[in-house]
Amino acid sequence: MVGSAILRNLISEGHPRDLLLTLERGELDLTNQLAVTSFFEREKPDQVYIAAAKVGGILANSSYPADFLYTNLMIQANIIHASFCHGVKKIVLLGSSCIYPRAAPQPIREEALLSGTLEPTNEAYAIAKIAGIKLCESYNRQFGKTHGLDYRGIMPTNLYGPGDNYHPEESHVIPGLINRFHEAKVKGLPKVSIWGTGEPRREFLHVDDLASACVKIMNAPRASFERCLPRGVNHVNVGSGCEVTIRALAEIISRVVGYQGAIVFDSSKPDGTPRKWLDSSRVHLLGWNPKIDSLEKGLTLAYRDYLDNHVGESA
């Protein structure tokens, strides 16, 4: 999802398509160090956006923690090390807001990293992404001056939009709810049951807005990037600035989809982190702001993409 959005943004900014290196998931096993090394030897990229990751919602993270930790550690380590070995000076690594402590003060600032205990339901994924951030920082510290490295991290809030994963058990909250409300509408189901109390608050960002932030951060002068962050911090938050309860989110999605039945919350299931709202003031200093100005507008675009490209794939 994120990689496709970055590609769309780069093309829209005038970069020739034939100069942009992309691979489908089945074309290169990023957990295979030899395969990744061979790719870098052959293609010799100048900049690298690390958007590839194994991702999922609460159920998937809780069910497959070893898969999430191992796969993401390997992807990041292989790409970052191969980049260094083959002369790549600039990397942007995509992380996640789940890297921050469960009880971090809101809105969450970049320096909250490693200041407290993580949310247990996605701890494995968070640890992997923290390792990626620290690996970028470590290469900068050890080789930045001697090799001209500039490896940066971006911590986006919860994402949605074209190319999302609508798997019924492995999707994040927005694609999961779009899929469930659509199927309930089609089947005429009287109610849709949703995990948790509906009270946790979340911030959501359309993936096309994130893509524009990625390109902005990749190309920001080093002095500007360092000036907007505290000393020793090498990652920047990217969010929409607006948060909503899961209950309100479900109501918006049901309205966008056109579902007329009841919404029921199952409080016996976990809520996850009570609140995740990023302080994105520092990325604003670099000149970036989201263009999609309302969640309902963004969800309408996402549902249109679902109808055009994803209906039936989760069956």
Q: How far is CA 220 from CA 92, 151, 152, 205, 282, in A?
A: 11, 12, 11, 21, 13
55 — pLDDT class (breaks 50, 70, 90):
confident
Say if residue 309's pLDDT is above 90: no
- Reported as a single tens digit per residue, the pLDDT across 112-130 is 999 999 999 889 999 999 9
Q: What is residue 49's predicted lDDT score, i.e. its pLDDT?
A: 98
Task: Tell me the mean pLDDT in the region 6-23.
Answer: 94
Say if residue 14's pLDDT is above 80: yes
- 231 assigned to some structural domain: yes
- 199 assigned to some structural domain: no
Report, as residue numbers or ranges, the catalytic residues.
125
Domain carrying residue 131 = 2-164+204-240+276-293
272 — pLDDT class (breaks 50, 70, 90):
confident
CATH number for the domain that contains residue 132: 3.40.50.720
- 312 assigned to some structural domain: no
- 119 assigned to some structural domain: yes
- 266 assigned to some structural domain: no
Q: What is residue 274's predicted lDDT score, i.e. its pLDDT?
A: 86
Q: What is residue 299's predicted lDDT score, i.e. its pLDDT?
A: 97
Task: Tell me the mean pLDDT in the region 63-77.
Answer: 96
313 — pLDDT class (breaks 50, 70, 90):
low
- 299 assigned to some structural domain: no
Say if residue 315's pLDDT is above 50: no
Question: What are 234's two structure tokens?
Answer: 């090498």
Q: For the chain, what is the domain count? A: 1
Beta strands in the chain (DSSP E): 47-50, 90-94, 150-156, 158-160, 191-195, 201-206, 235-238, 243-245, 262-266, 275-276
- 179 assigned to some structural domain: no
- 68 assigned to some structural domain: yes
- Reported as a single tens digit per residue, the pLDDT across 213-234 is 999 999 999 999 999 999 989 9
312 — pLDDT class (breaks 50, 70, 90):
low
Task: Quote the distance between the C-alpha of residue 53 and its chain's center.
Answer: 9
